[in-house]
Amino acid sequence: MTEKVTIFPVVGNDDNGDPLPEGAPIVVTPLEVAPGNAVLKYGVGGDLQNIEFTVFLELRHESNIKTGDEMLVRGRRCVAAVQIWRSQQSPNQGGIAVLATSASGKASP
């Protein structure tokens, strides 16, 4: 069985600062879903963020996901931090690593 992840594009806010409805969900097949064993440290205050999954996507999905979008990975609704890399020898080769952080740590219903 091939694993799928669902991307929920975050559109932004309207003129009043209220969140706009999310974009249409996009279902993609990742190259791999790996454990997210990284911990990121932000700012001087020492806030920590646990990365639950690292999702590897083909470069062709670059227009489908951006940092701040949400994605459903193994039943967990996560926020995405996107890292795109391209080969220096061939700009058409590379990939996308998405660090997926679950806000609640609980599986979605």
Per-residue pLDDT tens digits for 13-38: 788 877 788 889 999 999 999 988 65
Q: Is residue 107 part of a domain?
A: no
Count structural domains, the chain. Answer: 1
Q: What's the rounded Cα separation, in Å, for the pair 90 and 39?
A: 31
Q: Is there a domain that residue 109 lies in? A: no
Q: Which tokens is 3 given?
A: 């694993």
Query: What pLDDT does residue 109 have?
Result: 47
Kindly report the average pLDDT of the chain as a whole number: 83
Q: Is the pLDDT of residue 7 over 90?
A: yes
- Rounded to the nearest angstrom, the gap between the alpha carbon of residue 98 and the centroid of all alpha carbons in its chain is 4
Range of the domain at 77: 5-102
Tell whether the model's pLDDT for residue 104 goes beyond 70.
Answer: no
> What number is the average pLDDT over the span 52-70?
93
Q: Please, are residues 53 and 78 in contact by the beta-carbon 8 Å criterion?
A: yes
Question: For residue range 84-102, what is the model confidence (pLDDT) as tens digits?
Answer: 998 888 878 899 999 999 8
Among 95, 4, 3, 99, CA closest to 52 = 99
- In-domain check, residue 20: yes
Q: What is the pTM of this model?
A: 0.77
